[in-house]
Structure 1
């Protein structure tokens, strides 16, 4: 990925390559279209230029989350923390302590596997939801494009 290469170059003391955008594309839009472009770009936390460039190149930026959605994510993150803490506590118990705690080893192990799976899925969701929109300059990664979003 381009981002990883940039980090490795910075670690080696190399500067990030500068992308010079000096070509201009002009198109005419109606007042209503301009208003929609401005609004959608703002909702995605992007400049109009970055938003239009991304859309023209086949990318579909995600809208930023509303305050209500952010609150839901914070609550979800807190639940994940509780689940991780509980899973870690269980992991630190001996098998006999786990058996005594749940009184049925098979049920406890099945539950533990499900909790670990849910915890990992929550972590993946949180990571993807918190990723900031950016124009993926210089990439041809099809997964990032609209069909993969």
Structure 2
């Protein structure tokens, strides 16, 4: 089986002090220590995950542990401070954090779909209808 999405050593940091926060990550500091010393919020650190074609995967964890933060990096709604987020596009893997705008737009339109938590759902639609809404808009 080949990878559809591959996260490689992904760190996501929110705030202006990314460089300082990453240095603290490397030294083993906790999220709280990073926040106190830099004002930056560590979304996720050192994330590695491969999802193969045809697999159904579940990310489980406590609230605030970085599950949604990591998933939002697949379409670059959250930008990795470092690491690679590889998405399969035909015969090649594309690093969405390093690709040009046209390639990212193509990936978003043809390879990645996302249903947001709670408020992003249309309450008058079923789960399946919400999932298919993007396809409906694109005429599929």
Q: TM-score range by the shorter chain?
A: under 0.3
Which structure has the highest strand share of the two?
Answer: 2
* Bigger radius of gyration: 1
Higher relative contact order structure (alpha carbons within 8 Å, sequence separation ≥ 6) = 1
Could you state the TM-score of these two structures normalised by the residue count of structure 1?
A: 0.22
